[in-house]
Amino acid sequence: MHIQVWQGDITSLEVDVIVNAANESLLGGGGVDGAIHRAAGPELLEYCRRLGGCPTGEARLTPGFNLLARFIVHTVGPVWQGGQHDEARLLAKCYRNALALAESVDAHSIAFPAISCGVYGYPAEHAAALAVKVLSEPRPTGSAVQSVLLVAYSEAMHQILEQAIATGG
């Protein structure tokens, strides 16, 4: 599995799966969630309404609708509360569950935003190191996923993610 950093708007990517950093309602929000709903179109919200939400750390699959991506995996990252509230375990669960859902549809490529690193306040260096570490773990039953893009929206996040890859998480 090849992990690379890419800087830009995740909604423009032509990959099998893009991951959304959603909230527990799955009914849309700001940041990357808002961008994904705008780009995918109103059918996404309609579909999400029927899913009945998603607890923190879990993930749900939807079609990509108007996106170039075939599927969207919506996962709910933890809100940073200082680091002693299970944040790292929950963020690791987001990456593992998202990857497992991508594998379930035989995805070859997947792109992740920096889950929890926006309004949820997770320190970017810690989140980047954790993402690289979890995504580098051997997969129990192998994986169809060959390409993982870690998407940075800002130049600062780009550098943090490159650094995390260089040091292996």
- Residues designated catalytic: 33
38/106 with CB nearer ligand ADP = 38
CB of 106 to ligand ADP, least distance (A): 24
Pick out residues in 73-102 that bind ligand ADP (CB under 6 A). Answer: 77
Nearest 5°: CA angle at 1, between 165 and 24?
A: 75
- Give the nearest distance from C-beta 49 to ligand ADP in angstroms: 20
Q: Is 116 in the site for ligand ADP (CB under 6 A)?
A: yes
Residue 21 binds ligand ADP, judged by CB under 6 A: yes
Token pair belonging to 28: 């849309």
By beta-carbon proximity to ligand ADP, the closer residue of 26 and 157 is 157
Question: What is the Cα–Cα distance from 44 to 60, expressed in whole angstroms?
Answer: 12
What letters, b where the CB count within 10 A reaches 16 and e where it falls short, cover 2-17?
ebebeeeebbebebbb
Q: Which of 21, 8, 10, 19 is nearest to 121 (CA)?
A: 21
Give the shortest CB-57-to-ligand ADP separation in angstroms. Answer: 12
DSSP 117: S
- Identify the residue among 35, 45, 92, 100 touching ligand ADP (CB under 6 A): 35
Length of the chain: 169
- In the complex, the residues that contact ligand ADP under the rule CB under 6 A are 9-11, 21, 31-33, 35, 77, 113-120, 151, 153-154, 157
